[in-house]
Copies of this chain bind each other. A is one copy, B any other.
Amino acid sequence: MVAFCSVENLRQYLNTVDLGELLVGLSTSLEETFKRWEEFQLIPRVASHSTYGVIELMPTQDNQRYAFKYVNGHPINTKVGRQTVVAFGVIADVETGYPIFMSEMTVLTALRTAATAALATKWLSKPQHLDRPLALIGAGAQAEFQAIAHKALFGITDFRVHDTDPDAVKKLQRNLSALGLNVSGLDSSAEAVRDAGVITTCTADKRNAVVLHDDDLVASHHINALGGDCPGKTELDAALVNRSDVYVEFEAQTRIEGEIQQLPTDSDVTELWRVISGEMQSPSGSEITLFDSVGFAIEDFVVLNFMYERLAQTSFVSDIDLLAEPADPKDLFGFVYGSSGGARG
């Protein structure tokens, strides 16, 4: 049997725990895993494109566990009241090949994206960035999780938000004020980032947009750029990317999907795991550090295993009958039809 965590079960579980503590734990688990990055099989996601959108499979494995995520991207879905992105994922045991855990991953992807960005902030920002408000460019589905992760890891409580949709800003203010966080809505990105240290850009549904201009930034910042995540979809001014110290998850994938698709293919970038593992030093002198994040399979691997460790053997998972196990592997027919031969041929 495979342990299954449904959407409703995940909601119920998350309402029993402290989200900030959970994101700290997840960030720590990501950090430990990034240190052993070289143990993983690195496979660029397998994308099936259509005129409507894209469906992707994102597999990876280390020596013990295999994981994959199914995720789509269909911006036109919002016109018919459906989600742009839905996702689910599976962990399997590498030694047997048997799936052991299946979960919804729309919510889990939001959690791992926030925990990954906070981890990048930990390793790439300067101390003075963390004493200032955090700027959020984009008040969509990811915004609350970004704020709560940075509150939990760094104690940031002031957030300066810009979004072209005033209702999204109101939603974010409503959700975060209930947690005692301060959210100011600003009319432009330039105003939102002016007094900020860390900046998170997380907008969606835009094609080669510029939600942050180079001359919006006049001081030192760390930027987590999350919304540029597929070919032809970027968020930042190329000049800003060009003058930043750029960090990525997996260079081969980010060249195709990230902000750096605007730069020459030999531009300098550093994979984040190299900093976390100690192979490379943290940046020191640069004005702007940029984590050009597109989301990678190892992050999904981590959040699936993190949740499995917490949910296995609890009432938040149920068994699903997904795997046929005939008593005699050579008698699949007898398994289906019974040893008395119930089939009619």
> Which residues does A use to contact B, with CB under 8 Å?
4, 6-11, 14-15, 18-20, 41, 43, 46, 48, 50, 52-55, 57, 59-61, 63, 66, 68, 70, 72-74, 77-78, 80, 82-84, 86, 88, 90, 92, 94-99, 102, 104, 106-107, 110, 139-142, 144-145, 147-148, 151-152, 165, 168, 171, 174-176, 178-181, 320-326, 328-337, 339-345
- Please give the distance in Å from A28's CB to the nearest CB on chain B: 17
Measured in the bound complex, the distance between the Cα atoms of B325 and A78 in whole Å is: 11
Query: Please, which residues of chain B bring their CB within 8 A of the CB of A14?
Result: 336-337, 343
- Please give the distance in Å from A7's CB to the nearest CB on chain B: 5
Cβ–Cβ contact B175 & A325, under 8 A: no
Query: Please, which residues of chain B bring their CB within 8 A of the CB of A180?
Result: 345
Cβ–Cβ contact A83 & B175, under 8 A: no
Cβ–Cβ contact A171 & B55, under 8 A: no
Apart from A48-B60, A74-B95: 13 A-B pairs, beta carbons within 8 A: A6-B320, A8-B321, A10-B336, A15-B343, A53-B97, A73-B97, A77-B97, A88-B323, A145-B333, A165-B330, A171-B328, A171-B334, A174-B339
Query: Please, which residues of chain B bring their CB within 8 A of the CB of A6?
Result: 320-322
Measured in the bound complex, the distance between the Cα atoms of B341 and A176 in whole Å is: 8
Cβ–Cβ contact A82 & B98, under 8 A: yes
Cβ–Cβ contact A94 & B55, under 8 A: yes
Cβ–Cβ contact B43 & A106, under 8 A: no
Query: Please, which residues of chain B bring their CB within 8 A of the CB of A345?
Result: 18-20, 147-148, 151-152, 176, 179-181
Query: Please, which residues of chain B bring their CB within 8 A of the CB of A336?
Result: 10-11, 14-15, 107
Cβ–Cβ contact B7 & A324, under 8 A: yes
Which of these, B78, B95, B331, contacts A171 with CB under 8 Å? B331
Cβ–Cβ contact A333 & B175, under 8 A: yes
Query: Please, which residues of chain B bring their CB within 8 A of the CB of A94?
Result: 50, 52, 55
Query: Please, which residues of chain B bring their CB within 8 A of the CB of A43?
Result: 46, 48
